[in-house]
Amino acid sequence: MNKRFLWYPAIIGVFAALIWVILQKGQSLPVNPHAIAPAAPVSAAVDTHSWWRYLDNLKHPLGLLLLQIIAIMLTARLFGIIANKLKQPAVVGEIIAGVLLGPSLLGWAMPAFSTFLFPVESLKNLQFLSQIGLAFFMFIVGMELDLSKIRNKAHDAVMISHASIIVPFFLGVWLAYFLFTRFAPANVSFLSFALFMGIAMSITAFPVLARIVQERKLTHTPLGIMAITCAAADDITAWCILAVVVAIVNAGGVLSAVVTILLALVFVTVMLLLVRPWLARITAAQMAKGREKASVSLVFFVLLISAWLAEVIGIHALFGAFLAGVIMPANTNIKTLLTDKLEDVSVMLLLPIFFVYTGLRTHIGLLNHGDLWIVCGMIMLVAVAGKFGGSTFTARLMGQTWRQSISIGALMNTRGLMELVVLNIGFDLGILSPEIFAMMVLMALATTFMTGPLLDLVAFSEKRKGLMTV
């Protein structure tokens, strides 16, 4: 054996012995009676020799947060798999999982366990993580928008997408006129309530729509290209309208709203005309030199600054994150690099937290009277009639076949995650009451769930028509 190996036990043994000697000598030192005792930790009240102290450790904020994330990921993954088995996008199952982990099921069936797992004081941590996840996700959504496709089919896509916004927006404002007196929270103006009902009816879940098109192998078909282009134009328009609505609500007065909107226009203009070409030059130069980490760091810096400026202006940080994604340069592989780094963490870890946070705010038990379910049915009817009907008939006017028009209408009626984002913004601003919030969450689930069956029905009718013709 090499003698050098003997130094290891010798050094460790000598210093371990010296440490032991000092600790033993220190036991005989007198305790200072005038020293101020530090505050005892929460676990100090528990017998240190009891195994029950480990249960008490679960109440520590970090331990509880990790347990919540584990429970959320397992539940979301399980229901995502079930949704896929039912030929539904995984996001449908994840939204359902979030609702079931809230007071609508877990809080009703096992209130003690629900209070233990999701105590009120822990919700701020979940909200923080969900907002970070949403910012990353909106950044990815912005990067996925192909502006060249919008330019190539601009006329038809803009007509269909804008019709799919203005018609449900009108119906949402019209419905708000009848719901305002009963359901609007205290001190909320009709303007704020009506505008949020309108935008909530108008939104389309671009990421969910894109994944449905991809799963059904429609990406390179005329129908798939048109649907994705319409959804992209819809997303850009709807988020701009949402930014204006949030600005009006936050400003409180006409003059303040005008100033906020002007600042938002300046912000968007600077990002598109100045930051975008500058970012393209810098990232191209860095990627050419193999400095990928420097490029990614710069992009994250732009993302955070954009989200921060949007929040300061008063149009919400998520719009800033979305805009940062839109301006990402398309002539380098930076988009692929960023998507690989962010998408898995955002979609698999942080977005399920957002779904559960939304579910914890969704009290379906509040709809405990028949008339409330009638109102919920009216909301769903208006949502489907405005989005599905408006998109379908406008697509037909633009020269699409009835099959393609109905398919486009069904896809544009998909709301999913984007609807939940809008609803949470409205709820945080105090514009939507808990009852309306619960009804709108159910509407988002129903309209997303019906997309697949509607497309299957159209495909079946087309196939049957072909067989009858033969």
Does 42 map to a domain?
Answer: no
Q: In the structure, what pLDDT confidence band is assigned to residue 224 with cuts at 50, 70 and 90?
A: confident
Assigned domain for 206 exists: yes
Structure-model confidence comparison of residues 436 and 29, the more confident one: 436
Residue 180 within a domain: yes
Token pair listed for 466: 């072909």
Q: Angle at Cα 80 formed by Cα 76 and Cα 82, nearest 5°?
A: 120
- Would 8 be classed as within a structural domain? no
Residue 351 included in any domain: no
C-alpha separations of 181 from 175, 184, 433, 447 in Å: 12, 6, 12, 26
Domain membership flag for residue 77: no
Q: What is the pLDDT of residues 352-379, one digit of tens each?
A: 888 888 888 888 888 888 889 999 999 9
- What average pLDDT score do residues 203-231 get? 77
What CATH number corresponds to the domain at position 216? 1.20.1530.20
- Residue 234 maps to a domain: yes
Domain that holds residue 455: 150-342+370-461
Contacts for 115 with CB less than 8 Å, ≥ 6 apart = 107
Considering the domain boundaries, does residue 96 fall inside one? Answer: no
Q: How many domains does the chain contain in total?
A: 1
pLDDT in tens, 251-290: 666 677 778 778 888 998 999 899 999 998 888 888 888 7
pLDDT above 90: percentage of residues in the chain: 11
Is the distance from CB of 227 to CB of 408 less than 8 angstroms?
yes
> Using only C-alpha atoms, what is the Rg of the chain?
27
Confidence band (pLDDT; 50, 70, 90) for 145?
low
